[in-house]
Structure 1
Amino acid sequence: MTRPPSAAQRRVIDAADPVTGRLRGTEAQLAALVRHGLAFRHPRPPHDHFLTPAGHRVREEEAPGAVPRPPEPPPAEPDRVFAARVGGEETAVDGPARAREVHSAWQGLLELRRMTNSDGATDRPCAWERTHLVRAAALALEAAGHPPEGPATAGYRVRATPQPEAVAVHAPEGEPLRACAATLERAGWQTGEYTGPRSRTRYLLASPRRV
């Protein structure tokens, strides 16, 4: 990539599916993004285009020269963007609608694995997950029915670590922690149980499996 994307290309990037990174645009726009290394054309029909990890990074950055926008109030519930719960959120809405959102996001992630892993495998994390470790691990846990930590509830917490491609998963010790480990392993992660040097509490270190 030698220059930033044009305004039209930036709009295509910003409109990509937030989970799968699937793109919609003209053939010329998509071809230009492929040349810049921001997108790729899947080799199997229907030959859709998806953001590369570099494209996802561009999508999450402010456009060069953009005027900072003032903070906007939270959108109404029907329009809010899905986000996996990492644990520790002060407010959260549960119920059938949330369950449907989580299920849809997990199915979308499995489809992204199928489309972007070279062998089409869905039992192994894909490149998007490796660049969004905390969100990916949290989605795997929430999709399996584990409760995230809340103001009045005990549950999992997923946090970044200094180690490359590794997140820390905290949960009530005992069965909940082991259950989180089993879920992540079924989702294609490798886990190990460790003890915090200061807190002396047990936690998981989880990394996406490569093979």
Structure 2
Amino acid sequence: MTRPPSAAQRRVIEAADPVTGRLRGTPAQLAALVKRGLAFRHPRPPHDHFLTPAGHRVREAIPEPPADSTPDTGVFTARVGGEEEPPVSGPARLREVRGAWQGLLELRRMTNPDGAVDRPCGWERTHLVRAAALALEAAGHRPAGGDTDGYRVRATPQPEAVAVYAPHSAALAACAATLQEAGWQAGEYTEPRTRARFLLASPRRV
């Protein structure tokens, strides 16, 4: 039976970049994670270490501390639309979003078998809602929130597919174009009961 990571290793995993999985730690800590199959050393300089899919699963299983007992850590989170608080905007948010998107493109380059950056990688396929929301926000689409109309990204029962809603047909078409450019397949559908139009989007494989 495989032993769980030590407390020190869990701290290194927990502190990994939420998008790229890039790790920081001592050489001994990083080597131990590589030995356990939870991290890999990138072959190209500067030979940084990143979480493997198994490492990402460990990171996601680490319970988050209660929100009222810890300060905001400032970790970037893509906005899926419909959050209770108003959407954050301004130059600082724009820099965060652009940085996260560039990090995601780098993750594609490092983890896609052929190094392609024009289609989603494994991390995106296991974080569909967050990945689609990041693609939309990075392209300048505004998420819904408070009294603001905008996109909403939601999970669906279908494997590897998310639903994207927008306030009108032109916005929905613009979201479809953005996702297609980001390596997703997107088609418009109508909900049978509400007659609302939405996109069904999934990561492109080829």
Provide TM-score, normalisation by structure 1: 0.90
Aligned residue pair count: 205
Gap runs ≥5 in structure 1: none
Between the aligned partners of 1:74 and 1:182, the Cα distance in structure 2 is: 39
State the distance in 2 between where 1:74 and 1:87 align: 24
1:138 equivalent to 2:133? Answer: yes
1:160 corresponds to which residue?
155
Aligned to 2:88: 93
Distance 1:86 1:73 in 2: 25
Deviation, structure 1 residue 70: 4.1
Percent of aligned pairs with the same residue?
A: 79
CA RMSD of aligned residues (A): 1.9
AA aligned to 1:49 is H
- 2:123 corresponds in structure 1 to 128
Please say which of residues 111-120 and 135-144 is displaced more in the overlay: 111-120
Pairing 1:149–2:144 present:
yes
Paired residue for 1:171, among 145, 159, 166?
Answer: 166
Give the Cα separation in 1 of the matches to 2:152 and 2:67: 27
| Structure 1 outlier segments of 4+, above 4 Å | none
Indicate the SS of the match to 2:188: strand
In structure 2, the CA distance between the partners of 1:159 and 1:74, relative to structure 1 (3 Å rule), is farther
User: CA offset at residue 186 of structure 1?
Assistant: 0.4
Supply the distance in 2 between the matched residues of 1:10 and 1:187 (Cα, whole angstroms): 32
Kept after mapping to 1: 8 A contact 2:14/2:62: no
Amino acid at match of 1:202: R
CA distance in 1, matches of 2:172, 2:184: 15
